Chains A and B, each alone.
Chain A
Amino acid sequence: MKLPPFAYRAPESLEEGLELLAAGEGEARILAGGQSLIPMLALRLARPSLLIELRRVPGLAGVHEDGSGLRIGALTTELVAERDPRVRAASPLLFEALEFVGHPAIRSRGTVGGSLCHADPAAELPAAALVLGAELTARSLARGTRTIPARDFFLGPYTTALEFDEVVTEVRVPAPPSSQGSCYLEVSRRPGDFAMVGVAAAVVRGGDRVLDLRLALSGVGDRPRLLTRDELELEGQDSPEVLFGQAGRSVAARIRPPEDLHASAAYRRHLSRVLTERALRTAFERAALQGGAASA
C-alpha cells in the first residue's frame, strides 16, 4: 500500500532532532533505515504525524574500538557493521548475528540502533546484545544522556525502555573475556528471514570446564531474555556435555514459543533445545581456540 501522509524533517544537528521529537509529544518518530518503520506505515501499523530522519546529523554512524570494547553509532548500517573487520575481531557473536539479519538489500539501509529500538521478538541483534552485555546510550532534551543496559532495554514485543522523546545515539559492546567463546545459530525458512528460533550463546571456559555461560533466544517469546546458569538452574559440577544437554532441556521447559503458519510451538521448542545445546558446544570449542583451554 502507499504510505499515509506524514510530515518529514531531516535536521542537521542532534539537538534540533531532539527538539522536534519532544515537540511531537509522541506523534513524531525517528526514521533510521526505515526497513521496519516504512513497512509499518505501508501496512498502517504505525501512524506517526512526523518522521525525523537523522542521516544529516554528523557523528551518529561509525564503528570505534578501544581497549574496553566497541562503540557502534546507532545509525551505522547493519551492512557496514557486518563488514567492519573490528566488529568481526572484537565481537564475533555480533558479527555472526548480523549475517542472519534480513537480506543484503535490507542490511544496506537497516541500522544497528534501529534494529534494537524496533525490538522485534524474532530479531537477531537484541538477543546478541543481551548476551554481549551491550549498553545503549540514549539522549533526550528532558533527561540529557543516560545509559541503558540491554538487559533493561527490551520490555515486550516492539516495546523498549526508551521514552518517546529519546534517541539512541550509540551502542557499547564490552570486549569479551579472552577465555570466552560465542556462537549464534538460527533456523529460518530462507536465509534472511526472521528467526523461527535463534540462539545467541557465550561460554567462558577454564580448561575442560565451563566457568560461565549466557544465552538469549530470538523468536520464542514476547522478547529475548538473558538466561544465565542461575536462571537455568544448572548443576555446577557436571561435564560440559552434560551441562549443555541440561541447558537445552531447561530452555525448552522455560519458554512459551508462539505458533504460526511456519512452525508449531512444539517444533519451536524442539529447535530451542537442539540449537541451545549446539550453540553452547560450539561456543565452548571456540573458547579453546581463543586460549580458554590454557587458562584453567
Chain B
Amino acid sequence: MPESELGARGPLPIRLEVNGEERGGDVEARTTLADFLRDQLGLTGTHLGCEHGVCGACTVLLDSLPTRSCLVLAASADGCRVETVEGLARDGQLSRLQRAMWDSHSFQCGFCTPGFLIQATALLAENPTPTEAEVRHALSGNLCRCTGYESIVRGVLAACAGPERSGAESK
C-alpha cells in the first residue's frame, strides 16, 4: 500500500450536527452518510432503496440542502449540519407537512416517505406556495414503488394551502 493511503481507510473520526445535536464517531472511508446515520446513530428513519442515487429514499438535508445520503461519504459530511426525517417533528408534534400528508393518505407502505418528506420540506422552505406543477417537478427525483404519487402531491399541496385553497381542493 502506498504511503499516501496509510491510515486513510479508517477509522476516521468525524463530528457533525444531526437534528440539532452534536454527534460524532469513527467511520471507515467507505461508510456513506446514510449508513453512518442508520447503523452508528440508530437513525433508521432514513431509508436505503437503491444505494446508487436514483430512488431518493435516503434524502436528508445537508447544510439545509436536500442531498442523497447514499451518495455522500460520512467523512465528507464532517463538520456539516444534517437534518433527517426524525428531526421534522418538534416536541412530539408532527410538522405541518407531516400532518397534511398524514391527512391526505400520502403513505402506503411508507418506504419512500422519509425521502419525500425531506424533499418536500426543502421545497416549501424555498417556495411556501408552489403550484402543482412545481410540486411535481420538485419531487420528480423521488420514486414511490407503491406509485402513490397522486396522494403525495395532494398532501404537499394541502400543507401549503390556506383554509380557502384546502376547502376548494378537498374532495
Contacts and interface: CB of A to CB of B under 8 A. Distances in A.
Nearest 10 interchain pairs by C-beta: A103-B141, A8-B29, A7-B8, A7-B5, A108-B65, A39-B52, A3-B30, A105-B66, A42-B52, A38-B71
B20 interface: no
Given A8-B29, A104-B66, A192 B140 contact: yes
Given A34-B73, A102-B141, 6 more contacts: A23-B3, A31-B73, A50-B2, A103-B140, A105-B56, A191-B140
B43 interface: no
A67 interface: no
Contacts of A7: 1, 4-5, 8-9, 29
Contacts of A2: 30, 35, 51
In this complex, the member of A10, A43, A79, A104 whose beta carbon has the largest number of chain B beta carbons within 10 angstroms is A104
Given A24-B4, A102-B141, A108-B65, A8 B73 contact: yes
27 contacts: A6-B29, A7-B4, A7-B5, A7-B29, A8-B10, A8-B12, A8-B75, A9-B8, A10-B75, A23-B2, A31-B73, A34-B72, A35-B53, A38-B73, A39-B71, A50-B2, A51-B73, A102-B141, A104-B65, A104-B66, A105-B68, A106-B53, A109-B65, A109-B67, A109-B71, A109-B72, A191-B137
Nearest to B137: A191
Interface residues of B, number: 36
Interface string A18-50: 011001100010010011001101110000011
Interface in A89-148: 102-106, 108-109
B59 interface: yes
B149 to A, nearest CB: 11
Contacts of A5: 9, 28-30
Nearest to B66: A105
A229 interface: no
B106 interface: no
B4 A105 contact: no
B32 to A, nearest CB: 7
B160 interface: no
Nearest to A189: B140
Interface string B73-111: 101100000000000000000000000000000000000
Given A5-B9, A104-B122, A20 B73 contact: no
A272 B8 CA distance: 47
Contact of A39 (B12, B53, B62, B122): B53
